[in-house]
A and B are shown apart, each in its own frame.
Chain A
Amino acid sequence: MAEAHIPHPDLPPPVSTIGVIGWLRRNLFSSPLNIVLTILAVYLLYTALPPLLRWVLWNAHWSGDNRADCPADGGACWVFIRVHFEQFMYGFYPDDQRWRVKTALVVLILSAAPLFIRSVPGKIKMRLGLSLLAIYPVIAFVLFKGGLLGLATVETSKWGGLLLTLVIAGVGMTAALPLGVLLALGRRSQMPAIQTLCVTFIEFWRGVPLITVLFMSSVMLPLFMPAGVSFDKLLRALIGITLFQAAYMAEVVRGGLQAIPKGQIEAAAALGLGYWKTMGLIVLPQALKLVIPGIVNTFIALFKDTSLVLIIGLFDLMNIVHNATTNPDWLGFSTEGYVFTAAVYWLFCFSMSRYSHSLEKRLHTGHKR
């Protein structure tokens, strides 16, 4: 009887290709060049990390409430941040009114939460999203500014810190996207008047630096107004930023529109769809999906650009930190202040970037290769 062929059981893979060693060989020491680079990187970490950690953590001062608690011994003074933390968050918003900002934040989180839950049907999300877009700014404005429903008025000049940064970024983003879409559609329009108007608008706003726009809005604009009429400085900055970003957004969206094959529009026409239905149901959903990275890129740039309002004397996060470093009781802690600011900006920008990644993955329908 012929012996049945029993294949030799699989040998374990060579030690050098599995586990930690295998990972190291594959990723860090796969070629002479990579070996050199790895050693270089380790050396750099070795020289840079210990002093950094010493400054940030081990020698750092955490407790206390004045500069005497921060002797100069090579450690960061996080006391400076802790003492000013509330101010960095709210600016000069009055202490006893800060609950209003917190309420607005809670309302936003609760009402926007369903948008991020996958099991909620798309139609409901759509309606919720649109109504949120229409109603929430009003709620937030009434809560922040007051003067209605028995709330004390808080002048916009008192808004500051992260609150102001988020207000500017939030308004800029929500207003610039729809405006940008309209401009992009207008630029591709068959009607010469609309096309010329949109092209002029886009090219004008793209042609001037944001810093100039802000500067003009705060320095030149008041001179054209009748005496005594003062136009809110924050509002001026918001309008400037929105128009500026809308121009950029328009070009990003136009990139997406151009990627949609003509056949799609012709097919829509064959089905009897009019212009707005063609755009709203066929073209834009595909185009916007394509340009998510571009849109998020513009949003991130906008978020960081908000710090430019410091040149017109608005106390956003960056400027309020700068202000705190000019307090004679806290001179010399600017490094701590700016490290903290950088960390906050990074946190927000990185979250936006991750969210855009997950959005791209979720909306992925096989057009990518």
Chain B
Amino acid sequence: MIPIKTLTTAATVLLLTTTGMVQAGVTLDGIKKNGFIKCGVSDGLPGFSYADEKGNYNGIDVDVCRAVAAAVFGDATKVKFTPLTAKERLTALQSGEIDVLSRNTTWTSSRDSAQGMNFTGITYYDGQGFLVNKKLGVKNAKGLDGATVCVQAGTTTELNLSDYFRANKMKYTPISYDKSDESAKSLEAGRCDVLTSDQSQLYAQRIKLAKPDDYIVLPDVISKEPLGPVVRHGDDDWFDIVKWTLFVMVNAEELGITSKNVEEMKKSTNPDVKRLLGVEGDKGKDFGLANDWMAVVIKQVGNYGEIFERNVGKGSSLKIERGLNALWNQGGLQYAPPMR
């Protein structure tokens, strides 16, 4: 992930403090007045956010916004997507051009504090990994001593790579490329043994190769890149809604509620399920939403597992394993606080 320039940050923070234009509580009011959510997404990232031949947006990041719209309006289509580049994204949120940023943004301390952001959770645990040819016979990253590594120039990826090899006292030869397409071609031509990038991107790179099945993504992850939706400081109600929409989707997966069986599950005797689907209690009132909002989210968009598999997992051409993104009780890190 490319860090935003320190200078820009300083300038924007200064501007924010001097103009002080975003007032408390206005975001949710504005959304309700508009009748739709303004959602910032990526301008094209496989599996996370892209527009298909028909111009419909797809991807994990896109589905998160749809889920929030389903929560607020009971209608997942009430979203206006704004494609943003990596450099624009934080300003667009600060200036109120968008209400929520769902654009594979890494949760870091500086973004969460100095830049006036609130990360609402983690939709995808990403991290830097390695893509190698099976012929090499390497089973994990420790076996990469002396390898030639293709890496994207001028990114934190390059820095992480050098840190990792130095820490493990291994040698390597880096070859830098500007474009991800070039590095994929280079790996294919055998100019490098390994390609390194964020894991979610490695799967996309693999598809570009002529024989994807000859290559594997090593299990090792050498950096932490937790990605999640972001809202700006100043409207805690809105922050809560986005945060709990994510938790609802994770909890729904844990309880076995899917978009298909949500109606049947309403008859369930499990109190957790009953509370989540709004059959029991008044979980809507606390958030200022309809009582069955969680059920609507699941019905219209799906639980976390469904979103994952549909966009980047088995149901997509990327075929990414759940790995760190499996539920906590299945060996992963996805964990949501209880609904009660």
Interface residues of A (CB under 8 A from B): 72, 83-84, 87, 91-92, 95, 157-158, 215, 218-220, 222-228, 230, 310-313, 315, 319, 322-329, 331-332, 334-335
| Residues on the A chain within 8 Å of B82, using CB | 157, 313
**B83 with A224: CB separation less than 8 A:** no
| Residues on the A chain within 8 Å of B30, using CB | 228
CA distance A230 to B316 in the complex (A): 36
| Residues on the B chain within 8 Å of A334, using CB | 181
| Residues on the B chain within 8 Å of A311, using CB | 85, 87
**A230 with B97: CB separation less than 8 A:** yes
Q: CB of B281 within 8 A of chain A? A: no
**A313 with B88: CB separation less than 8 A:** yes
| Residues on the A chain within 8 Å of B26, using CB | 227-228
**B19 with A327: CB separation less than 8 A:** no
CA distance A351 to B233 in the complex (A): 52
**Residue A328 contacts which of B87, B92, B95, B207 (CB distance < 8 angstroms)?**
B207
Which chain B residues numbered 159 to 214 have a C-beta less than 8 Å away from chain A? 181, 184, 204, 207-211
| Residues on the B chain within 8 Å of A230, using CB | 96-97
CA distance A83 to B43 in the complex (A): 20
| Residues on the A chain within 8 Å of B209, using CB | 332
**A219 with B8: CB separation less than 8 A:** yes
| Residues on the B chain within 8 Å of A157, using CB | 80, 82
- Which 6 pairs show the lowest CB-CB distances between chains A and B? A332-B208, A222-B95, A326-B44, A92-B55, A227-B21, A323-B44
CA distance A226 to B55 in the complex (A): 32
Chain B nearest CB, measured from A340 CB (Å): 15
Q: A223-B15, A319-B43 are in contact. Are A327 and B50 (CB under 8 A)?
A: yes
**A223 with B19: CB separation less than 8 A:** yes
| Residues on the B chain within 8 Å of A87, using CB | 51, 53-55
Task: Give 22 CB contacts A-B under 8 Å.
Answer: A157-B80, A158-B55, A220-B11, A220-B15, A228-B96, A230-B96, A311-B85, A312-B85, A313-B43, A313-B82, A315-B43, A319-B43, A323-B43, A324-B53, A326-B44, A326-B46, A327-B50, A327-B52, A328-B316, A328-B317, A329-B52, A332-B208
Chain A nearest CB, measured from B115 CB (Å): 13
Interface size class of B (residues with CB under 8 A): 35 or more
| Residues on the B chain within 8 Å of A323, using CB | 43-44, 50-51, 83
**Residue A227 contacts which of B51, B96, B317 (CB distance < 8 angstroms)?**
B96
Chain A nearest CB, measured from B214 CB (Å): 12
Interface residues of B (CB under 8 A from A): 8, 11-12, 15-16, 19, 21-23, 26, 30, 43-47, 50-55, 58, 80, 82-85, 87-88, 91-92, 94-97, 181, 184, 204, 207-211, 316-318
CA distance A224 to B21 in the complex (A): 9
New A-B pairs, 20, CB < 8 Å, besides A92-B55, A311-B85, A331-B46:
A72-B211, A87-B51, A95-B54, A215-B87, A220-B11, A223-B12, A223-B15, A224-B15, A227-B21, A228-B26, A310-B43, A313-B43, A313-B84, A325-B44, A326-B46, A326-B204, A327-B46, A327-B52, A328-B204, A335-B181
CA distance A218 to B92 in the complex (A): 9
Chain B nearest CB, measured from A337 CB (Å): 10
Classify the secondary structure of A's interface with B. helix
Look across to chain B and name the residue whose beta carbon is closest to the beta carbon of A71. Answer: B210
**B88 with A83: CB separation less than 8 A:** no
Look across to chain B and name the residue whose beta carbon is closest to the beta carbon of A322. Answer: B44
Look across to chain A and name the residue whose beta carbon is closest to the beta carbon of B82. Answer: A157
Q: A313-B43, A313-B88, A331-B46 are in contact. Are A224 and B19 (CB under 8 A)?
A: yes
Most buried by B among A223, A228, A319, A335: A223
Look across to chain A and name the residue whose beta carbon is closest to the beta carbon of B21. Answer: A227
Q: A219-B8, A328-B316, A334-B181 are in contact. Are A225 and B85 (CB under 8 A)?
A: no
Look across to chain B and name the residue whose beta carbon is closest to the beta carbon of A73. Answer: B210
Q: A328-B316, A331-B46 are in contact. Are A223 and B53 (CB under 8 A)?
A: no
| Residues on the B chain within 8 Å of A322, using CB | 43-44
Q: A219-B87, A223-B94, A313-B84 are in contact. Are A326 and B55 (CB under 8 A)?
A: no
CA distance A284 to B140 in the complex (A): 72
Look across to chain A and name the residue whose beta carbon is closest to the beta carbon of B89. Answer: A313
| Residues on the B chain within 8 Å of A72, using CB | 210-211
Look across to chain B and name the residue whose beta carbon is closest to the beta carbon of A226. Answer: B21
Most buried by B among A226, A228, A332: A332
**Residue A312 contacts which of B58, B88, B181 (CB distance < 8 angstroms)?**
B88
Chain A nearest CB, measured from B270 CB (Å): 36
| Residues on the B chain within 8 Å of A226, using CB | 21
| Residues on the B chain within 8 Å of A331, using CB | 46, 204, 207-208, 317
Chain A nearest CB, measured from B324 CB (Å): 20
CA distance A95 to B53 in the complex (A): 11
Most buried by A among B23, B211, B317: B317
Look across to chain A and name the residue whose beta carbon is closest to the beta carbon of B20. Answer: A227
CA distance A83 to B53 in the complex (A): 7
